[in-house]
Amino acid sequence: MKSSLIIGSLLMLCSSAIAQQNYDIISSSDSEAEIIRKAANITPSPRQLNWQKLELTAFFHFGVNTFTNREWGTGKEDPKIFNPSNLDAIQWVKVAKDAGFKQIILTAKHHDGFCLWPTRTTDHSVKSSLWKSGKGDVVKEVADACKKYEIGFGIYLSPWDMNSPLYGTNSYNDLFIDQLTELLSLYGQVDEVWFDGANGEGPNGKKQEYDFDRWYAHIRKLQPKATIAIMGPDVRWVGTETGYGRDTEWSVLPANNLSQTKISEDSQQEMNTKPTGFLKGADIGGRDKLKNAKGLVWYPAETDVSIRPGWFYRPSEDTKVKTPEKLLDIYYSSVGKNSVLLMNIPPDTRGLINKSDINSLNEWARIRNGTFKTNLAAKARVVSSNGKDEKALLDGNYKTHWTTKGTDTTSVIEFTLQKSATFDVAMLQENITIGQRIEKFSIEYLDNGKWKALTEGTTVGYKRLLRFKPVTSEKVRVTINSSRLNPTISEFGLYKQIE
């Protein structure tokens, strides 16, 4: 599929059923100032907004690779090797829910083509395995567990299929549609469909031309609320699988640079550590990137990472599970940088999440919950230069926001705490239902009557978290140095990270 067609469908699909617009067209007569004004007014679609608010989502990579200790299978695996001794999807989902995840995504089919549900499209599935004498359905068990715990359910369906004899022919696109039909109509609500970028050769050495347009339209028809991620129009891959997003993260990007083909080529590696292709670079949506744009689109970043070195479970990695401190750092560098975190927690050969992973997740959740429980600025007195609705900054309601009067794009907001407090984390949230606008800000604190620099940043977006050495003060001020249009802030917070 040509990338220009994908971009066309990106724009078309983004536009369906939205009140405000999550894209805009640039005309050749638009000045640079007009392009920036347009960018500042682009807003997420309702499904993109709901997705962004999840903040934490989890991946379950599970399949034949779990039993072969491989990252990528071959497609030639005997389905009989899939035989978890004690599979309990309720345990998986409870572990995820307890750790704060709001949605999970299951690898219904990975690149090896083995299907975790008894599909009618191939025998290469749980149906041919020894597990539950071929009568089991992992997709159903996970979907039901998500309903029980009231968290979102998503599916990963790998376009690349190393097993299907049809791969590399037009009929594969039909087979893929049939697989989508099963997954999107037999298991209740599906909240996210995740298409991997990896696209290698099938069993006959052929590569496939994916019919993305047809797949997207089919998903919209069967599950209109589902976001389509990565090789899809709603959610963008941040560009690395390390868990670390960029400091400057714009959700509005030039549409003409969005080559899905390029994403696909760039992800032909088992574990990406560096941004590749057009996703490379510290800032992919800044003014210099927009000035030659043909169109603009809301295309927010998702940061995916595994809690272990690999995506699938291996016993040898039980001692290499990321520590709670590392997970915390990843949290600040993904959720705290205008992105949604997608963390993989791979079930083991028993079909259970391993103790080592649970311990790390629980401790991580304890630190996060303890830290963000008390906003030390909650009862502060607020004044701002040429600003309005200061109360909105601390009302705990994302929908209300502070902004500037007239056409001001800069401002200083001063917070006087009820009493002096010690803090080492600051939080800012822009109201993205108005648009993403802030380009540069700094935060200072009053120390013995003198303002001292605390931290600074560029973009804010849905959420920006900043860590610094603990300081004790009763006055803090946020300076917005530059913004694409009137800046907005929905919420502000100061916190002390707990031990």
Rule CB under 6 A: which residues touch ligand FUL? Answer: 71, 196-198, 267, 304, 311
Cβ closest to ligand FUL, residue 71 vs residue 424: 71
- C-alpha–C-alpha distance, residues 153 and 141, integer Å: 11
Q: How far is the CB of 56 from ligand FUL (least distance, A)?
A: 16
Q: Please, are residues 72 and 270 in contact by the beta-carbon 8 Å criterion?
A: yes
Please state the closest distance from residue 418 (CB atom) to ligand FUL, in A. 46
Question: Least CB distance from residue 326 to ligand FUL, whole Å?
Answer: 18
The C-alpha atoms of residue 308 and residue 142 are separated, in whole angstroms, by 21
The least distance separating ligand FUL from the CB of residue 155, rounded to whole angstroms, comes to 13
Q: Which is nearer to ligand FUL, 24 or 266 (CB)?
A: 266
DSSP state of 16: T
Minimum CB distance to ligand FUL, residue 347 (Å): 14
Separation between Cα atoms, residue 3 and residue 229, nearest integer Å:
16
Residues 86-108, buried b or exposed e (16+ Cβ, 10 A)?
A: ebbbebbbbbbbebebbbbbbbb
**CA separation for the pair 189, 183 (Å, rounded):** 10
Nearest distance in Å: CB 260, ligand FUL:
13
The minimum distance between CB 131 and ligand FUL, in angstroms, equals 21
- Please give the backbone phi and psi of residue 416, each rounded to the nearest 5 degrees, phi first: -110, 110
In the bound state with ligand FUL, the residue whose beta carbon lies nearer, of 196 and 390, is 196
DSSP collapsed to 3 states, 314-351? CHHHHHHCCCHHHHHHHHHHHCCECEEEEEECCCCCCC
Q: Which CB sits closer to ligand FUL, 162 or 489? A: 162
Q: Which is nearer to ligand FUL, 92 or 402 (CB)?
A: 92
Partner residues linked to 229 by β-bridges: 194, 235
- Residue of minimal Cβ distance to ligand FUL: 198
Q: Residue 79 or residue 197: which is nearer to ligand FUL going by CB?
A: 197
- Rounded to whole angstroms, the Cα distance separating 140 from 115 reads 12
Name the residue nearer to ligand FUL (CB basis): 106 or 180.
106
